[in-house]
Amino acid sequence: MILIPLKHENMQGRRWPVITFAVITLNIIAFLGTHWTIEAQSQQYSPKRFEVAIHLAVLAATHPELTLDDYSRKFVEFVSEQYPDDWAQISSSSREAVDEWEEDIRTKDAAALQAEMDNLSHQFEEAQQSSILGHYAFLPAHPSGISYLTANFLHGGWLHLIGNM
């Protein structure tokens, strides 16, 4: 008894897989329409976006009394919930400063800290919203209804696209 039929005597396709071809075509069009823009944005903005996110998390962890806007608060909550050990380490007042920015922050008063938090929150949201990935990729800290659909058509490169197709 064979459970997986490998061939059949009169094996013929009844119709072309039109839906499959349509999905593959949509993926290729979406890839060709976004690949070079995403690549350029990643090279241009990625280091700054990463640095702003790190600074935002460090400031929120070391000064929980500061207020955050909703967008940044969701990001900070996501980081603190998903990485509790790292969050505890960042929150520690006895650890060494990560960079010159953090050394400078340690000397500021409450008003200057809140101004820095507002500035970082604004930069973080602006960096996320100005990129294709920020709009259309699925970001667990900031899920949007459209990203559940559009994230399926974003690919990280040619091999990712070919592997999925």
Instruction: Please give the single-letter amino acid code of residue 77.
Output: E
Lowest mean pLDDT among 42-51, 85-94, 100-109, 155-164: 42-51
Work out the average pLDDT over 58-73.
Answer: 90
- Reported residue count of the chain is 165
Predicted pLDDT of residue 94: 82
Mean pLDDT for the chain?
Answer: 84
- For the chain, the structural domain boundaries read 34-164
Indicate whether this model's pTM tops 0.75. Answer: no
E strand or H helix that includes residue 41: helix 18-62
> Two tokens at 80?
């603190």
Please choose, from the candidates 164, 159, 150, 163, the residue with its C-alpha nearest in 3D space to the C-alpha of residue 33. 150
What is d(CA 67, CA 102) in angstroms, rounded to the nearest whole number?
A: 18
**Does residue 2 surpass a pLDDT of 60?**
no
